[in-house]
Amino acid sequence: HYLQKIESNKHLNAFVEVYGEEAKMAAMAVDEKITSGKAGKLAGLVLGLKDVLSYQGHGVQAGSKILEGYQAPYTATAVQRLLDEDAIVIGRQNCDEFAMGSSNENSSFGPVLNAADVTKVPGGSSGGSAVAVQAGMCHASLGSDTGGSVRQPAAFCGVVGVKPSYGRVSRYGLIAYASSFDCIGPITKSVEDAALILEIMAGADDFDSTVSEKPVPAYTSALNWTGKARIGYIQEAIESEAISYEIRQQTIEVLNRLRAEGHEVEPVKISLLDSLLPTYYILTTAEASSNLSRFDGVRYGYRSPESKDLESMYKKTRTEAFGDEVRRRILLGTFVLSANYYDAYYTKAQRVRRLVREETDKFFKQFDFLISPVTPTTAFTIGEKTEDPLQMYLADIFTVQANVVGNPAVSIPNGLDDNGMPIGIQIMAPYFGEEKMLAFTSYLT
């Protein structure tokens, strides 16, 4: 069924590789396990992987020419845990190069199209993963979220996307973009599915020392919210003309409904809202410039055929095989880390990061959840923002806070705009507050 769906939706360009025969064999093996009563918790779940997740013996390229021909020598912990519960991996999915982007237009495999309207972007960077779920090409996808890359495409495509707390899910086997921000998260049709996947893949891992030893709650058994919640919402987000009218209206409707149901709903000001994007883009480009230095033409994938000596190999390989956005960020990151500017940019951004964390912690002493739109607009037209990176970065205004501070956040569908394009709403919770976040989200849907 899913293979047929992938075939009939080929024009959306969501998958870069489909494991057809292999997936059928895996499905048959799972079927036998089901008959003999030995099936795992995910038996029958057909899963797609964003092209940044390692799956042993399979290609993985982060949407980049620089990893052409590279095969993963091991499997990411998150993926392995799902396989151990009998999930079936159907293929790898298109994404922005090295997960840098908000529209999936930065992939060496070409853009992904939104299934609701093929002239619109699917969001990014996990665009292929969101469209695959939107168009029913797989049951669920795994994406990665560094500044919104799971939640924003989920919002643009009308599906559910969860970014767990930093340190909840192992990053082992995830191709790094900005290591202190990167999180692996599920994209699904329902909150229940996301909770199940998260509960299986989360938890301590010997291969990633940044993962918490905290036990993983049974999220799926806790999906019944009772009682009253204290909810803060970003006042600017429902007042500012910069946010589309329909998104503001739909958000207000949810807040009104919650108020009517007896929850405490209060407007708040995030005083550092204007500093979030600069902080995010300074720190992530700094980390990216360092993470991506390993792609030198020696160790992985592509090497320029024009190389004459070591230096020209580095230069030509990296110039030929990195796309514009990746090069822009390596330059930016190298600049903010350079001796003369380090204190003015990098150190300062680290300080602001701490302030944002303090402000967020303070907020969560008073409230259970922070509600906001996921994005200022619905999916925009392909090509509309490619000439103007700053416009593109502004699309991340509501999603980056969760990554700057490490808190969990979820994006769920919240109706459609007048053109039939999906709108999303975001619920952010305290650090390691996934259990109540998912329970409340399931109550909301």
Q: Provide the annotated active-site residues.
A: 50, 125, 149
Member of 101, 127, 161, 333 binding ligand GLN (CB under 6 A) = 101
* CB of residue 9 to ligand GLN, shortest distance in Å: 24
Tell me how far CA of residue 213 lies from CA of 170, 172, 209, 219, in angstroms. Answer: 11, 15, 9, 17
Burial code (b: 16+ CB inside 10 Å, e: under 16) for 219-230 equals bbebbeeeeebe
Stretch that binds ligand GLN, among 144-152, 191-199, 378-386, 433-441 (CB under 6 A): 144-152
User: Is residue 437 within the footprint of ligand GLN (CB under 6 A)?
Assistant: no
Q: DSSP string covering 388-416, please?
A: -HHHHHHTTTTTHHHHHHT--EEEEEEEE
Segment near ligand GLN (CB under 6 A); pick from 69-77, 93-101, 214-222, 364-372: 93-101
Would you count residue 99 as binding ligand GLN (CB under 6 A)?
yes
Contact 251, 370 (CB under 8 A): no
- Cβ nearer to ligand GLN, comparing 258 with 410: 410
Q: How far apart are the first and last CA of the chain?
A: 27
- Tell me: does residue 149 bind ligand GLN (CB under 6 A): yes
In terms of CB distance, is 148 or 301 closer to ligand GLN? Answer: 148
Nearer residue to ligand GLN within complex by CB, 287 or 435: 287
Closer to ligand GLN by CB, 99 or 265: give it. Answer: 99
Looking at the Cβ atoms of 99 and 197, the one nearer to ligand GLN is 99
**Interface with ligand GLN by CB under 6 A: which range of 146-154, 359-367, 380-388, 423-431?**
146-154
Q: Which is nearer to ligand GLN, 232 or 422 (CB)?
A: 422
For the CB of residue 163, give the shortest distance to ligand GLN in the complex, in Å. 8
Residues 6+ apart with CB under 8 A from 108: 61, 63, 64, 65, 97, 323
Strands (E), 209-318: 230-234, 264-268
Stretch of 65-73, 145-153, 240-248, 312-320 lying at the interface with ligand GLN (CB under 6 A): 145-153
Among 63, 148, 164, 297, binds ligand GLN (CB under 6 A): 148
- Among positions 9, 141, 146, 377, the unique one binding ligand GLN when judged by CB under 6 A: 146
CA atoms within 13 A on the CB side of 111: 18
Site pattern 119..138 for ligand GLN (x: CB under 6 A): ------x-------------
Going from the C-alpha of 67 to that of each of 47, 70, 216, 258, the distances in angstroms are: 23, 5, 34, 48
- Stretch of 64-72, 99-107, 221-229, 240-248 contacting ligand GLN, by CB under 6 A: 99-107
* Pick from 192, 185, 177: nearest CA to 142: 185
Q: Is 177 in the site for ligand GLN (CB under 6 A)?
A: yes
DSSP 8-state symbol, 233:
E
**Is position 378 an interface residue for ligand GLN (rule: CB under 6 A)?**
no
With contact defined as beta carbons under 8 Å apart, do 66 and 301 qualify? yes
- Report yes or no: 413 and 424 within 8 Å, Cβ to Cβ: yes
Residue 178's nearest CA partner among 320, 350, 341 is: 350
Residue ranges in contact with ligand GLN by CB under 6 A: 99-102, 125, 144-149, 177, 284, 396
